[in-house]
Amino acid sequence: MPNLATLRGPIAALALLTPTAAQFVNRATWLGNDDESFRRDFAQGTEYFLDRFGYVVAAPWHDRDLAHYGNRADFRFGSTSGTQFTVEGRLDQRIDLGSGAAFRYHVLQGENRDARFLRNELAIEYALDDSTALFAQGSLFADKSLIDVSVGAWLFRRDDDALRVMLTAVDWTSEKSEDVEYTEAPWAVMVGGAFGDTEDHRLVFELSGQLPFTQRDRELGDRLELQRWIGTVESRLRLDARDVLVTAIESEWTEKDFLPAVATDPRLEAFDRNFHQLRAEWWRDTEQPWSIGAFYTFHREDGRRELDPAADLRTRRAEWFAFLRTSWRATDRLSIEPQLLAGFVRDRFRDGTDDRDEDRFEGKINWNARWQFSPAVSLTLIVGTQIDEPAFGGGGAQFIATF
């Protein structure tokens, strides 16, 4: 069993949760750079989600026999479209200070669909007993002008099980900003837990929310109102000695209102976004592992501009995909891990300059080569081939290390 002292809280992962999800901050407490708080072009190619699945969601056997918690470095980089290059990485380090106290350092960088971010977290934790603890943390070097301050508690942490709650004062020192002020202070909440073990049934979840707030531009007088909720859960149920059923759900809801100082400004906008993804996968855990599964993705965006209806945004996108992947060991360290994805996409898009109504088949094969330096360190190179048309299907790499 892992050392209780190394436990960290589950997060809302950048894609779907894995059993090693162990960051001790959640993304919902961060408002993003200035552009993320306003309407911006939704950066996606026609196969955005399909490409993303190919390099972000790791095969279930990648973390076999690894501890659920511990100091960890993860970096994944690759292409999500023909023009976008994405880097996702995190670093978590814990240092015992003695007398029940511990210091934590965390770095998170990446791209969350339409937001790029970089944040550093420093935290102090104090153990009340073997299963409970209090903590405080701050974003002292955040990629923005202000500081987030969080307080929370481990309600319990025993063996592989944990339950953690956190309250965050976002942009706590609001008077420091020369650009904006808050007329309604931003607060964020999070609850996350992990239960069970890989020998029977394991469940990891998080619910996090950016509570409603109002922000005003000091110079222009424009106001922004925003709230966001994110929930993720993954279940791994061992059916027998060889078979595991993996199911996962991710859901996100965001509401933004941009209120210009001048009532006749055509930028006046109400913006809503919903994103949901469900995944099921049957994993045969053998010397040559393989898995078969399916996922459903739904994405909806509405940007309504009452004074300029021609600039309204409307996005409806649904995906139904099946996938098959396996792993052949070429040498003690090198494995070939092909991955087939194929399915149906329904795409409905409207804005002031582009209309798109498409129902189409999409598919691709990722030819993955994975070099395993050790059970905790691996490098995967990815090259994709589209099967719905003769075309290059993108590529990238994953580097994952636990230390």
Q: Which of 168, 201, 232 is nearest to 21 (CA)?
A: 232
- pLDDT tens per residue, range 57-91: 677 887 776 665 567 777 776 655 455 566 777 78
Average pLDDT, stretch 288-313?
88
Average pLDDT, stretch 164-177?
76
CB-based contact 240:222 (threshold 8 Å): no
- pLDDT tens per residue, range 230-259: 888 999 999 999 999 999 998 888 888 888
- pLDDT tens per residue, range 265-286: 888 888 888 888 899 999 999 9
CB-based contact 107:22 (threshold 8 Å): no
Give the chain's mean pLDDT. 77
Domains in the chain, CATH or no CATH each: 4-402 (2.40.160)
* Structural element, H or E, at residue 49: helix 48-56
Q: Residue 243's pLDDT is what?
A: 95
Query: Which pTM was predicted?
Result: 0.78
